[in-house]
Structure formats: C-alpha cells, structure tokens
Chains A and B, each alone.
Chain A
Amino acid sequence: MDLENAKAQMRKGVLEFCILSVLSKGDAYATDLLNKLKESELIVVEGTLYPLLTRQKNAGLLSYRWEESTQGPPRKYYALTDQGREVLKELETSWKKLIEAVDSVTTKI
C-alpha cells in the first residue's frame, strides 16, 4: 500500500468536506477559508485550496459573486449551492459512519 498516496487522498477528501462545511455557516472569500483551515492545520500549503475551490465550483457545489471590499479590489465570495448542501449532508452522514466504523474496529483490538 502506498501510504503517502493514501494519506493525500484522505486529506483531500476531508479538505473538500471541510470547505463545504465552513461555507455552510456563511459565505466566505478564499482568505477566510484559508485562515479557518490553517488554524486546524488541515492545509499545509495555501495553494492547495484554489484548485479545489475551482473544481467544486465546476461541479456545481459552489457559486461565487464579486463583492466590493473596503481594502483593495473586489473579492470573490463563495457560497454553497443547493446541490452543495445536499452533498455536504451526504458527506456528514458518511463521515459519522466512518468514524463509528473506525472506532469500533480500532477499539476492539
């Protein structure tokens, strides 16, 4: 088994889940997201976030609008679409199941 690959896949999945989860609590622009994700050490290099956001937007999970900013040029605010909300719900349930499953397996030993 390629451990590094598995870890990267795992982190990527969790990261996508977390982006949706953060956005479900309110619209945000990329830097807000970065700060939240870096706080919890989910993101190592900031660059990771941008391809993921674009991909989720292309998949119809996110939408964005431009908003004027008091400092600097307008910012791109991301918001969950209805489809995104559904995906998030699904992910939340499968995440819970996953945790239960992993817990039950690891604690039995």
Chain B
Amino acid sequence: MKKTLQIQIGGRHFHMDEDGYNKLSHYLESLKSHFAKEGESGKEIIEDIEQRIAELLEKKITPSKEAASLDDVNEIIATLGKVEDFIYDEPSSGRHDEGYSDRRDYRRFFRDDENGYIGGVCSGLGEFFDIDPLWIRLAFIALVFLKGLGAIVYIILWIVVPRARSTAEKLQMKGMPVNLTTIKESVNAEYDKVRSSLDGLQNSSAADRTRTAFENIMRAVGLVMVAIIKFIIGTIGVVFLIIGSVFLAVLIMVLLGVSNVFGHMPFWNGVDLPGLSHLFGTPGHYEIAVICLVILVLVPIVVLIYWGIKILFNIKTKHPVLRAFTLTGWILALILFITLIFANSANYAVGATGSKTSAVGTGKSPLHIDVIDNIEDKRITEYRVFDYRFKYSKWDESLYDKVALTIEPSDDKEMHLTVNKQVKNVGIKDSDRYIDRIEYFWNQQDSVVYLNKYFSTDGDDFWMFSEVNVRLRIPEGQEIVISPRICDILESYQYDQYCYDRSLVDQKVVMSPEGNLVPVK
C-alpha cells in the first residue's frame, strides 16, 4: 500500500505516490533556487518547465495506472536534466568560476544495446575503452572457450551494468575517457573543492558567521572525509575486482578442471570433493552439502566482482530485492552446512584396526621368507594427490599399497604371522565393513613363506588411507633365510639393520636370544 497525493502542476491535476512527489518537489526547488536571481524571467522558466512536466506526466498515466510513481518522476527528471546540465549563459558572470562550464562528465560504462548483438556489453565496453567492439567480442569468444569464463563474465556484466537509456546517458557513455590524467584531474578538483571550502571557513563573510563554529568544523571534517572515502572506495573497487576474479578463476578450475590436476581418478566424479563424501555419510546429505558449499564460496566471489564493477565503472543502480535474496540464500546455506556437519560428525573421525594372527609351520629348517609382487600382471596407474600416492588398477577397480613388514622375536616356541589392518576416517557403524574390504594374502609352501608385496582396497576407499602391517614373530633358535626381495617391504628401521649392506639376506640367519637375527656360524 502506498500513500498517494493529489498534485497540481502546469494547470493539470495528477495523482502521485508520496515518494515521487517528494522527489519532484525537491527537483523543482533546486530549479527555483537556481533561477531565483533572474526574477520574473526565472519564474517564467519554471512555469514553462512545469508545463512540460505536466505533459510528460500525462503520458505516464493510463487507465490502469492512475498514480505517477517515483520511477516515472525519475524518468522525467532524467529527460529534463539537472540544472547543471543546462547549456545557457548565466546572466551574472559571478557564478561562472564556480561553475558549470568546468563541469565535465566522465565517461561511464553503459550497455550500448543499439549497436550491440546480445546485451550490448561488448559494444559498451568498446565505447568505454575507446576501441573497436569487435576486439572485445573476439576476446569474449576466446574466453568462452576457456571453461566458459567469458559467458559468466558477460552475464554478470549484463545484469550489473545499466543500459544507456536517455540521451544524457548515451553521451556519458562517450564522455571524457577515464584514464590516469583525468583521474588525477578529478582528484585535484576534489582537493581544490575541499581546500576552497576550508579557505571559505577562515575568511567567512558576515552571513557565514551566523553559522556556529561547531557547524563549520563539522562541515570541514565532512568534506575531508568525503574526499578520503571517495579515494578509498575507488581503491577497494580495484581490489575487489582483482580478488573476485582470481577466486572465480580458481573455483572454476576446481569445479571443472580438477581432472587435470588429479588425473582421471575413478573416485573423482565431477564435483566429488575428497574428504567430503565420507564426512556426509547419510544418503543425500553429501549432495546438499556440496550445493551449500558452492553457494557459500560462489556468492561472496560474485558479490566481490559485482561491487568491484559497480565501483570502478561508477554504476549507481540498486537491486534491493536481489541483495536481500542473495544475503538470505547465503545465510541459509551457511546454517544448513553447519547443521549438516554437526549431524554427520558423529559418524566421522573414527579410526579402526583389525588384526588376525596365524601360526606358521616351522617343520622344515631353514624356513625361507620371500615376497611376491602381486600386482606385476595388473595394469597399474599411479596417482599422486598432494603427498599421497595411490596405485590403482582399472582391471579390478582396486587400490594397491605396499605392506610394512617387521620381524620380531616370538614370545613362545611358535612362529606367528600377524596381519594388522588399519583404516582412518570411517564411521563407528561401518568400520568393520571397511576393514573387511582390505584384502591381504600370504601363503606357505613347504619351507617357503610367500608374502604378498601389496594389499588391496576398494577403489572408492582412498580417503581411509588404509595401512597393513605384517608382523612376523620368529622363535629363538629358528633358522631362516631372508630373500633380498623382503627389503622392499621391511619397516625402515629394520631395513637399516638387515638390508643396508645386504649382509644378512640370502643366507642362513637365526633369531638370537637378544631378539636379533644373526648369521648362523
């Protein structure tokens, strides 16, 4: 609901929204005060302009729309122009130096849809930078092939940048170029304005003295602040644009180009972010979480770019609905994301181990310990994600990793082999299932124990960083022969002990009472 007033202008009656009326009367006041010094002819000018306003208002009123709105008033004011934009000789030359003739319209970025093909963005940019729009169009087309970046930038500009509607806007579009010289000029002009205002304070005329000192100081402070803020805002615009663009580029790379970074990993399906899929174990939660995350990241980036463009190109449009919508959406996404994390965190961050010990027959002496390279015949691709290496076989869709072997003294007369499986980052409920999915085999043939070099896990379980430790416990006095291939899987501290100079491999060794393997004399 809106309050509507009845107004009379140019001998005609109109209904008008209150905000529209306020704007219009403000505009007329500014005209009146400007033309006041011209006396009768000033009044005549105002009357003529009021006539014209009435004429223009009449066009806005239709049977379905009886009251003129604020938008209508804004449009009319744009058509008539601000008094500074009028071209005519001031009757008194006194005002001249302060004046309008020094006023320059800096070039502003508008969409030029008269000469454009889609939204007039390229054509408008061409006007802004004083170059043939053809080059800008080619650049955009080239950018489109770069992961669609050109299309995204174009759409953002299309939304953000207003179309040049009035003749004044069309002229501003082709106005004074914004370059270092003109920026410097405008900064200087701003500085002069502040300084002359400050000078005015010092040798103020009698009329000005009626103003209180406090008011004067506040006004001076205000002017200086405005100058500083204008400069800061300009800088922020550039920074926003740069940061926003970089983030957007990175995000696009992450969303689309990751396959190049991480290789063609089987567990990498599009937006499948590692560490997220198992964090949100409940069905459906993962998809929602990804959507939330994209909103959480994308919105600030787009807002940064939006603000950057607005500040840099001096765009003054406001989209309150869009702003409220974006902010609400972002906050909702944040709340949802946090809720999901709490809802799912109980299922996460559990590590589990499972071990199985088997007896090894010791009938024959010496017992040979050997290693079988069980992935020799499989086609293995090796991937590196940060510091982690993954061996993946497409053939059985499994991941392979080396086991770690330790040789220890047995605490009884028997020989034992313990296979210890470890997983990380699983839920309490499913840990058993994941441990069972790890496969490791060894076998004994007569006097030879064959250990597989690699264990396997399901191709989807890469985030569990599974490990398998094999402990071979040998009773005291048992003679064994270690194959040099054992060195590939020995724990590093034992590697130094047994494999460093190969003095203990490929010959009979025995478990000493001290718990070390020593050569048989």
B85 touches A45 (CB 8 A): yes
Question: Chain B residue with minimal CB distance to A51?
Answer: B88
B35 within 8 A of A: yes
Interface residue ranges of B353-384 to A (CB < 8 Å) = none
Contacts of B49 in A (CB 8 A): 47, 50
Q: Contacting A54 at CB < 8 Å: which of B48, B85, B103, B176?
A: B48
Q: Smallest distance from the beta carbon of A9 to chain B beta carbons, Å? A: 8
**B165 interface contact, C-beta 8 A:** no
Cβ contacts A51-69/B at 8 Å (1 or 0 each) = 1111100100000000000
* A30 contacts the other chain (CB 8 A): yes
A88-B29 Cα distance, complex, nearest whole Å: 35
How near does chain A come to B48, taking the closest CB pair, in angstroms? Answer: 4
Known: A41-B167, A54-B45, A55-B41. A48 touches B54 (CB 8 A): no
Q: Are B171 and A44 in contact (CB under 8 A)?
A: yes
In the bound assembly, the distance between CA atoms of A44 and B58 in angstroms comes to: 22
Q: Are A5 and B102 interface neighbours, CB within 8 A?
A: yes
Q: Does A72 contact B (CB under 8 A)?
A: yes
With both chains docked as a complex, state the minimum distance between the C-beta of A69 and any C-beta of chain B, in angstroms.
Answer: 10
The number of chain B residues with a CB under 8 A from chain A is 33
- CB-based contact B168/A73 at 8 Å: no
Partner of A12, one of B85, B87, B103: B87
Is residue B79 contacting chain A, with contact meaning CB distance below 8 A?
A: yes
Instruction: Name the A residues within 8 Å of B82 (CB-CB).
Output: 45, 47
Q: Is the CB of B11 within 8 A of A11?
A: no
A31: nearest chain-B partner, CB-CB = B55
With A51-B35, A76-B48 as given contacts, are A58 and B41 in contact (CB-CB < 8 Å)? yes
A48 pairs with B87, CB closer than 8 A? yes
A73 touches B85 (CB 8 A): no
Pair count A-B, CB < 8 A: 87
A2 within 8 A of B: yes
Name which residue of chain A comes closest to B58, CB basis. A72
With a cutoff of 8 Å between Cβ atoms, the chain A residues found around residue B156 in the complex are none
State A50–B58 Cα separation when bound (angstroms).
19
Q: How large, as a class, is the contact surface on chain A?
A: 20 to 34
Tell me, yes or no, whether B287 is within 8 Å of chain A by CB: no
CB distance from B385 to the nearest CB of A (A): 61
CA distance A50 to B47 in the complex (A): 9
Return chain A residues, CB-CB under 8 Å to B102.
Answer: 2, 4-5
Contact with A along B59-85 (1 / 0, CB 8 A): 000000000000000000001111101
Roughly how many angstroms separate A50 CA and B428 CA in the complex, as a whole number?
83
> A8 near B: Cβ within 8 Å?
yes
Q: Which of A46, A52, A75 contacts B88 (CB 8 A)?
A: A52
Contact with B along A8-30 (1 / 0, CB 8 A): 10011001000000000000001
How many angstroms between the C-alpha atoms of A15 and B87 in the bound complex? 9
Cβ-defined partner of A44 (8 Å) among B12, B31, B44, B85: B85
Find the A residue at minimum CB distance from B176.
A4
Task: Compute how far the CA of A38 lies from the CA of B88 in the bound complex, rounded to whole angstroms.
Answer: 17
Is B26 interfacial (CB-CB < 8 Å)?
A: no
Is A12's CB under 8 angstroms from B88's CB?
yes
Report A-chain residues with C-beta under 8 Å of the C-beta of B88.
12, 48, 51-52, 55
Query: Could you jot down 27 A-B contacts, CB within 8 Å?
Result: A2-B101, A4-B101, A4-B104, A5-B102, A8-B101, A11-B87, A15-B87, A31-B52, A31-B55, A44-B87, A44-B168, A44-B171, A47-B80, A47-B82, A47-B83, A47-B86, A48-B88, A50-B52, A51-B35, A51-B86, A51-B88, A54-B41, A55-B88, A72-B55, A73-B11, A73-B51, A76-B51
Point out residues on A near B: beta carbons under 8 Å: 2, 4-5, 8, 11-12, 15, 30-31, 34, 38, 41, 43-48, 50-55, 58, 72-73, 75-76
